[in-house]
Amino acid sequence: MTARGLLRQPLAATGLAVVATLVLLALAAPLLPLPDPDLAEPARRLQPPLSGFGALGTDQLGRDVLSRLVWGLRVSLAVGAAATLAATVVGSAIGLVAAFYGRWVDGVMMRAIDVLMAFPYLLLALAVVAALGPGLANAAIAIAVANVPFFARAVRGAALGVVGRDYVDAARIAGLSDRSILVTEILPNVLPLIVVTAATTIGWMILETAGLSFLGLGAQPPQSDLGSMLADGRKALTTAPHVAAAPGLAIFLLAVGLNLLGDGLRDLLDPRLDAGRGGAPAAATDVERGDAREAEQSGEGALVVAGLTTAFDTPSGRHAAVRDVSFALPRGGSLGIMGESGSGKSVTALSICRLAASPPGVIVDGVVSLAGEDVLAAPVERLREIRGARVAYVFQDPSTTLNPLMPVGRQIAEAVSAHGAARRAETVDEARRLIEAVELPDPDRIASAYPHELSGGQRQRVGIAMALAGEPDVLIADEPTTALDATTQATVLRLFSDLRSRLGASLVFVSHDVSVIEAMCERVAVMYAGEIVEEGPTAAVLSEPRHPYTARLVACTPRLGEPDRALDPIEGAPPPIDGRPKGCAFAPRCRLAIDPCRAAPIRLEPVADDRAARCIRWEDVSLGRA
Ligand SMILES: Nc1ncnc2c1ncn2[C@@H]1O[C@H](COP(=O)(O)OP(=O)(O)OP(=O)(O)O)[C@@H](O)[C@H]1O
């Protein structure tokens, strides 16, 4: 998988080809018909290439340059790889231990690393060689020591982001030893970074080892590596430039090849670091529609989505997470998007605002039209105006979307001023009005509070107030009550309904909860494995499903007032985005599936007035039989 991913990047593939050739050459050195690299024959000294004395001629002592090059390459590669391995293991171990134990352990280790980093890099390597004495092994140690701080710092930084995670706490509670937690929980999460750091540093380390040999501190005669060959060649640079050119070219090719390969590996293991893209996702999801589609005009539609297909670039290629999603939402209407975890609800909702992270997300087809304007064709500047004013988004967990360092009143005021309120006093008044509108008590106190001083329900109301700041025509709420307790959930849902009817906004409400959708939405779209499998008026769809998946979802939902109703869980799991079956994606879990279901994709077809289902057996679907 990794090799295929690398081969898809032309520069990385070139790097891989160069490095593989050089490594194979070095490994094959004992098998190649080459003369002894140390055999001096003064009678044929400084012969030029292709003069009958070896393909690359001879050096000052009459030794075969090609043979010395191949053997020198072998030494340089071995020493560079050993130094990289040592720096990787020691530096990563220091970083992991410092991050995991924190406190004084971290303090002592990091101060020691700071001291090492305070020395100019080459000076540190020279000091180590001076202390240990010249020689290739000591040069490798010196280069490793000089590189340990880079690994320690990088790995500590990444590990710090992991040690506070819930799954590490869960491992502690499960009684795992510190060593097991480090090895099984933390190390795998920072391993891609370690591999990337090693891959991007090895070329540099080989170059540095060659540098020490060039200065006479590495390889000692008769042993030679590329650096010492270069030093030898330098003495005859004007009379026989080939002696220096051969090792110089080999070092150049090796460093360039390793860097291209390292960059390719980095892009593969962490696409967010892809060169030229920066660490943050783009301001808007990339759109790569094959042939420019015309925005579907709809007089009445506040939001029309047609054929929306969003894919993710993964190491195994581009896979659609949401495919061919279509629906229309009239002004003031409400649509629920329902489905299991991973069914594509959030990706659909985010794609409407072009908020799905790019990379790795790409909208590859479809139209999203807000009051007739194609969002997918809008430039980023226009998109900024559309977001908030035409369409607003309420996220599932407001604690991750509110700025922890800013009082919430200021955050709401910022949202207001982003949509045109002129004077500061006006934005403050408007922020206060919004705080009242979302029924938060004591607006002045709330306005000056920081997010951590509010309860989950209060934070979600702040999130809703910010979404309302631009008076949007369409409000998208992505599981806005999932993180709340039942009572708070009920009041926040009521608030949504009240605000919607008061403002006349349309609502797209994402939830896995059948009863919430039932209470909030006039229409429902049921999603499975990235596709809408059933769509229609909520009451009709939930009481008389026409797709086996809807029927099974309803059957496994507890109902208020029906404590004795047996719940019927759906066995199995939805397919991953890179493992969808050829036919109906639900067929492997469906009790009604027959051969044609598995043979080819099933279309979403009208099944009654105003209703559609993606099932060839829709007439046989009932709550009992599916
Ligand atoms: N950044 C990503 N890279 C690759 N695949 C992704 C990415 N984000 C989402 N997916 C995939 O897209 C599919 C749809 O995910 P989505 O988040 O829309 O599901 P969901 O129905 O909203 O689930 P949940 O209720 O758990 O949020 C999933 O299979 C998921 O694995």
| SS3 of 58-120 | ECCCCCEHHHHHHHHHHHHHHHHHHHHHHHHHHHHHHHHHHHHHCHHHHHHHHHHHHHHHHCC
Distance 511 CA to ligand 1 centre (A): 14
Distance 339 CA to ligand 1 centre (A): 12
pLDDT along the chain (626 residues), means of 10: 70 89 89 82 78 77 85 89 94 94 91 88 82 86 91 92 85 86 89 87 86 83 82 82 86 89 79 53 82 54 92 90 94 93 94 91 93 90 88 86 90 84 73 88 92 91 89 91 81 85 90 91 96 96 94 84 75 90 94 94 92 94 69
- Residue 527 Cα: closest atom of ligand 1: 21
Q: What tokens appear for 553 in the block?
A: 């979802």
| CA torsion, ordered 248, 254, 256, 261, to nearest 10 deg | 180
Residue identifier of the C-alpha nearest atom 11 of ligand 1: 321
The SS3 call for residue 371 is: coil
Mean of pLDDT over the chain? 86
HSE-CB for 345 with a 13 A CA cutoff: 26
Q: Which value does ipTM take for this structure? A: 0.97
- Residue 348 Cα: closest atom of ligand 1: 18
Show the CA angle centred on residue 362, arms to residues 287 and 7, nearest 5°: 120
- Residue 350 Cα: closest atom of ligand 1: 18
What's residue 53's pLDDT?
Answer: 74
CB of 206 closer than 8 Å to CB of 259:
no
Distance 96 CA to ligand 1 centre (A): 30
How is the chain split into domains, by residue range? 2-273, 404-470, 544-620
- CATH class of domain segment(s) 2-273: mainly alpha
pLDDT digits (tens, 9 = 90+) for 347-384: 999 999 999 988 889 999 999 999 889 999 999 889 98
Distance 571 CA to ligand 1 centre (A): 20
Distance 577 CA to ligand 1 centre (A): 9
HSE-CB for 342 with a 13 A CA cutoff: 8
Distance 476 CA to ligand 1 centre (A): 17
Residue identifier of the C-alpha nearest atom 19 of ligand 1: 342
What's residue 559's pLDDT?
Answer: 72
What's residue 204's pLDDT?
Answer: 85
Q: Which residues pair with 534 in a beta bridge?
A: 526, 613
What's residue 213's pLDDT?
Answer: 85
HSE-CB for 228 with a 13 A CA cutoff: 21
**In terms of DSSP bridges, do strands 334-338 and 506-511 run parallel, antiparallel, or are they unpaired?**
parallel
Q: Is the peptide bond before 404 cis (omega within 30 degrees of 0)?
A: no
| SS3 of 564-600 | CCCCCCCCCCCCCCCCCCCCCCCHHHCCCCCHHHHHC
Residue identifier of the C-alpha nearest atom 28 of ligand 1: 342
- Ligand 1, from 272, 322, 347: best to mutate by most atoms within 8 Å of Cβ? 347
CB of 457 closer than 8 Å to CB of 484:
yes
Distance 346 CA to ligand 1 centre (A): 7
What's residue 499's pLDDT?
Answer: 83
State the amino acid at position 126 in one-letter form.
L
Cβ neighbors of 420 (< 8 A, separation 6 or more) are none
**What are the DSSP calls for 260-316, one per residue?**
HHHHHHHHHH-GGG-TTT-SSPPSS-EE--SSPPPP---SSEEEEEEEEEEEEEETT
For ligand 1, which residues put their CB under 6 angstroms from it? 312, 314, 321, 339, 341-347, 357, 360, 512, 577
The SS3 call for residue 508 is: strand
Distance 351 CA to ligand 1 centre (A): 12
- Residue 344 Cα: closest atom of ligand 1: 18
The CA radius of gyration of the chain, in Å to the nearest whole number, is 32
Distance 550 CA to ligand 1 centre (A): 20
pTM: 0.68
- Residue 314 Cα: closest atom of ligand 1: 4
- Ligand 1, from 343, 476, 481, 549: best to mutate by most atoms within 8 Å of Cβ? 343
